[in-house]
Amino acid sequence: MTTTLSLDEARRIALAAQGFGARLPEKPTRAHLCRSLDRLGLFQIDSVNVLARAHYLPAFSRLGGYDRTLLELDAWGAKQQRRMFEYWAHEASLLPLDLHPLLRWRMARAERGEIGYPALKRFATERRPEAQAVLDRIIAEGPMTAADFENGSSKSGWWEWSHTKHALEWLFWSGQITTATRRSSFARVYDLPERVLPKAVLDLATPDAASAQRTLIERSARALGVATVADLRDYFRLKPEEADHAITALAEAAILIPVRVEGWSQKAWMHRDARLPRRVNGAALLAPFDPLIWERSRTERLFGFRYRLEIYAPQDKRTHGYYVLPFLMNEALVARVDLKADRQTGVLLAHRITLEPDAPADALERLMIELDRMARWLGLDAVQVGMADQSS
């Protein structure tokens, strides 16, 4: 039997699954941060720093002004205090430590040269000795960035800058090295997993690939609440052959419930533990790589909100701005704002605010409250608005 959900119900399920609607804690703690990461499954990493780096923003959207050093300690702090690790999940990501065993099948496939771009795969085959030379330096010398190799034995013919970076990336993909910390430039500092991650994590049993993929799909479904097959695959970037058997198994176990969502052409699945709140209240600015909106077609299906990141578009081709954050108000995306943190002047610049055609009358007022909250969180003194308009 297939349950039918209205679009409003599906939206509320998705928002609740993503941690929206709860009262913001007065003083967010490390425990709040860990619960947020556990709920979402990952914080996507991106190097753009025009506002704040992407991995900081999802927790702010759900917790308010938390201390960012808490995340830094969990991600790159002392070995026994770590609660996160870096790996490729939904792009480069910070992940809870309990996901490490669930991604070892991906590491093994990378080690065998079965995944990755062509230049990466070659280090699993004919260029393996060269990758071993890079690994040997890290073993002998300790934590290193890619730049630390720049002055290596360049006359050998392969110690080219790009080759070194590819070798490091293959070693990272294959789990032979991991991120020890990040430099102020945000460059990765690589080291051996056993020198970075708690021994208890590395000693966890490695499940077979099929079991790990089932758990990843279950985590995806829990984080999304209600989702299509494509949504479930996308969360941890699983291919059809990696995801579809897991969806079938979870459906047979009644962990995934088949649903039909009003207005959706594709079949959908709801996690059996998904909550359907009567309403979702609150307000949040959403980073471009927030799990609620990172899959743009899902954002359109759920919210009727077409959103594209325009960083790579020429300036004269941008519709809404360079680094645009959607504004969530209760159960709707009601505006978008092009933001920049001007750290020299201490001002959060809202270059342009665009309200949706059906934005409620108090949307701009609510948005200004969130902009002020964000400015204080970033250590800025004021908010400055350039222009504000409304879509027709």
Question: Is the pLDDT confidence value at 156 over 50?
Answer: no
Longest Cα–Cα distance of the chain, Å, equals 68
Half-sphere exposure at residue 363, Cβ-oriented, CA atoms within 13 angstroms: 25
Q: Which class would CATH give 116-197?
A: mainly alpha
Question: Is the pLDDT confidence value at 127 over 70?
Answer: yes
Q: What percent of the chain has pLDDT over 90?
A: 91
Could you say which DSSP state residue 350 is in?
E
pLDDT score of 155: 40
Give dist(CA 283, CA 214) in Å, integer: 33
Quote the mean pLDDT of the chain.
95
* Residue 11: count of CB within 10 angstroms of its CB: 21
Q: How confident is the model at residue 149 (pLDDT cuts 50, 70, 90)?
A: confident
308-390 has which fold? Answer: Aminopeptidase (3.40.630)
pLDDT score of 1: 77
Q: Which residues of 15-54 are buried (b: 16+ CB within 10 A; e: fewer)?
A: bbbbbbbeeeeeebeeebbbebbebbbbbbbbebeebbbb
Are 3-97+205-271 and 116-197 in the same CATH fold? yes
This model's pTM is above 0.85: yes
pLDDT score of 125: 94
Tens-place pLDDT, residues 347-392:
999 999 999 999 999 999 999 999 999 999 999 999 999 988 888 6
Query: What's the mean pLDDT in 26-36?
Result: 98
Query: What's the mean pLDDT in 162-172?
Result: 93
Query: What's the mean pLDDT in 326-353?
Result: 98
Domain range list for the chain: 3-97+205-271, 116-197, 308-390
Tens-place pLDDT, residues 215-271:
999 999 999 999 999 999 999 999 999 999 999 999 999 999 999 999 999 999 999
Candidates 224, 341, 353; CA nearest to 291 is: 224
Q: Which class would CATH give 3-97+205-271?
A: mainly alpha
